[in-house]
DNA sequence: CGCTGTGTTGACAGGTCTCAATATAAGTGG
DNA sequence: CCACTTATATTGAGACCTGTCAACACAGCG
């Protein structure tokens, strides 16, 4: 690797301005960097949970498999995400982790992760906040899947991705790289690939978006928000109810 | 109140065996106990987040409202639940909290909650673990809503409630109190009340369950699990990867 | 160059929704 | 305790959205 700092900003930075010591504590988490080819699984549902993964580069997904063989993608991961954390509370993993582009990850042992709570208490807060954020995003997905049409689901999903990209890249324009096949989008939105195709065409005709190859262009974001029917979430950075005590790291 | 300890076991107890000091720290959270009549909202989506709630008695729901007016219940709360925590990371609340039976709650200020991280670091871990557990349950809901039929959704939902009740009450039999209307069940499963009615009748005819008034009887739990198509989650209590360091409170 | 994955389109079937009406239960006030 | 109102449950007919199956086009990749 040519670059000296190959790690993208960790999601924890979103809530806490980290000190140098805390950044070091996080860096100590990382095991060796592993390259994983597109399509390969990092971990299968049902396997024991011995480690989690930090996504350095590329896109990955967390998915659940139903007994009937159907697949539901529960999260699309971007660089900076921790993969596999929800299953830490389970005896065997709930989600399958799959690379959908070639990716680079670092393995994080659970013991190293657990030590973080000891080494950097303030990071515990950040991890707690990050988990709550994930809950909000899942709640939005639940609402979208349970109570909206195919067009609405696709609209709210692409906005979800767009909003996540903008958190770390304020320059992010309406044109974005989205390495998901139509089948992937179906697995996210609970639709079949065939119907996703029709919906994308329809949204194209309506001037909402264009999805060509792996390039997605949001043509009319305000209209997409209206269609998606979910409010844009405004995350609070460092709530004052945590600040008062000025908890030490 | 006649009883001296009106509080049900807090969800945090599920992951950490709490010390006396930690129990005290939790008890200090509680503001005065408030009774809320059935149907009343504790907090509406869009309002600023100034407090959360500890559910002492009765049933409540967290729901999201879509722009079109549709409602999706994202969580059915039992006594011992903390209500409203996900929105702690937002400027304005995402979920509306509603009592579906007469309930008793205690108000918990965010500042008091934030202090918990300072007073009892080990509780931070428990709160983190609890949040991951919520993520798993939401992921299961996402999979159920996105990739399964009406019968499957109802099956996995009633099993979800059954499993939650059994955590604190191992004696819990297949007959349980479920104060949800068919419209409520529809708001949980993403179906209309009319269709829920038909599905419940069909499941009754198939010998799966009986739902009369507020009493739900699971007639064939193994068959319900097969139909629901989701695995039963086995929560780990106190993972050894946290135990090694023996983090002090 | 052929193979495989992905995208595209059509016809049809099926599950769920909508609308409507009625029955039953629950709650309220006299 | 009864009369009235409201909420909830139940049932039917029809429409609509999405799924299924099938075939084919196109692109990426060996």
Confirm whether pTM is higher than 0.85.
yes
B184: nearest nucleotide, CA–C1' criterion? D8
CB-contacted nucleotides of strand D (7 Å): 7-13, 17-22, 27-28
Interchain contact, A142 vs B145, CB within 8 Å: yes
Closest chain A residue by Cα to residue B248: A118
Asked whether residue A246 carries a pLDDT value surpassing 90, the answer given is no
DSSP classification of residue A214 = T
CA B40 to C1' C30, whole Å: 27
Chain A positions touching B62 (Cβ under 8 A) are: 139
Choose, out of B44, B112, B128, the residue to mutate when testing the contact with A (most A CBs < 10 Å): B128
Find all residues with CB under 8 Å of A2, minimum gap 6, and list them. none
Residue A199, pLDDT score: 98
| Residue whose Cα is closest to the C1' of D9 | B197
Residue B248, pLDDT score: 52
What is the DSSP pairing of strand B60-65 with strand B33-36? unpaired
Is the separation of the CB atoms in A62 and A118 below 8 Å?
A: no
Asked whether residue A2 carries a pLDDT value surpassing 50, the answer given is no
The closest CB to that of A89, out of B117, B129, B188, belongs to: B129
Cβ of A244 near strand D (distance < 7 A): no
Question: B121-147 and B110-119 are packed helices; what angle lies between their axes, rounded to 10 degrees?
Answer: 120
Instruction: Give the span between the Cα atoms of A197 and B245, in whole angstroms.
Output: 52
The closest CB to that of B234, out of A90, A139, A236, belongs to: A90
What is the DSSP pairing of strand A175-177 with strand A215-218? antiparallel
Instruction: Give the span between the Cα atoms of B178 and B192, in whole angstroms.
Output: 18
**Strand ranges, E, within chain A:** 33-36, 41-43, 51-57, 60-65, 71-77, 82-83, 96-99, 103-109, 175-177, 209-212, 215-218
Residue B103, pLDDT score: 96
Interchain contact, B114 vs A64, CB within 8 Å: no
Asked whether residue A87 carries a pLDDT value surpassing 80, the answer given is yes
The closest CB to that of B67, out of A66, A72, A226, belongs to: A226
Residue A166, pLDDT score: 95
Residue A247, pLDDT score: 53
Instruction: Give the span between the Cα atoms of B190 and A19, in whole angstroms.
Output: 44
Cβ of B154 near strand C (distance < 7 A): no
CB-contacted nucleotides of strand C (7 Å): 5-11, 15-20, 25-26
Closest chain A residue by Cα to residue B244: A111
Mean pLDDT comparison of A18-32, A115-129, B35-49, highest-scoring range: B35-49
Residue B237, pLDDT score: 85
CA B15 to C1' D8, whole Å: 39
CA B200 to C1' D9, whole Å: 11
Q: For the segment A175-196, what is each residue's pLDDT rounded down to a tens digit?
A: 999 999 999 999 999 999 999 9
Residue B14, pLDDT score: 85
Chain A positions touching B118 (Cβ under 8 A) are: 245, 247
Residue A242, pLDDT score: 83
Find residue B35's DSSP bridge partners: B104
Nearest by Cα to A117 from B25, B16, B246? B246
Interchain contact, B148 vs A68, CB within 8 Å: yes
């Amino acid at each position: 690797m040519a670059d000296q700092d190959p790690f993208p900003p960790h999601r924890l930075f979103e809530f806490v301005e980290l000190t140098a010591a805390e950044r070091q504590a996080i860096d100590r988490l990382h095991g060796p960097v592993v390259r994983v080819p597109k399509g390969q699984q990092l971990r299968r549902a049902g396997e024991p949970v011995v480690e989690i993964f930090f996504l350095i580069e590329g896109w990955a997904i967390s998915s659940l498999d139903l007994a009937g063989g159907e697949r539901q993608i529960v999260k699309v991961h971007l660089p900076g995400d921790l993969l596999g954390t929800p299953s830490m509370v389970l005896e065997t993993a709930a989600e399958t982790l799959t690379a959908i582009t070639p990716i680079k990850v670092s393995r994080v042992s659970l013991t190293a992760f657990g030590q973080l709570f000891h080494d950097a208490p303030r990071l515990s807060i950040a991890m707690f906040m990050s988990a709550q954020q994930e809950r909000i995003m899942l709640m939005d997905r639940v609402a979208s899947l349970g109570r909206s049409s195919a067009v609405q689901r696709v609209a709210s999903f692409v906005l979800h991705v767009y909003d996540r990209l903008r958190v770390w890249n304020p320059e992010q324009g309406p044109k974005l790289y989205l390495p998901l096949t139509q089948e992937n989008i179906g697995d996210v939105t609970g639709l079949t690939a065939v119907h996703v195709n029709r919906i994308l065409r329809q949204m194209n005709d309506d001037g909402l978006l264009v999805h060509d190859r792996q390039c997605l262009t949001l043509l009319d974001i305000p209209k997409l928000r209206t269609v998606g029917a979910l409010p844009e979430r405004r995350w609070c950075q460092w709530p004052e109810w945590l600040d008062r005590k000025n908890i030490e790291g």
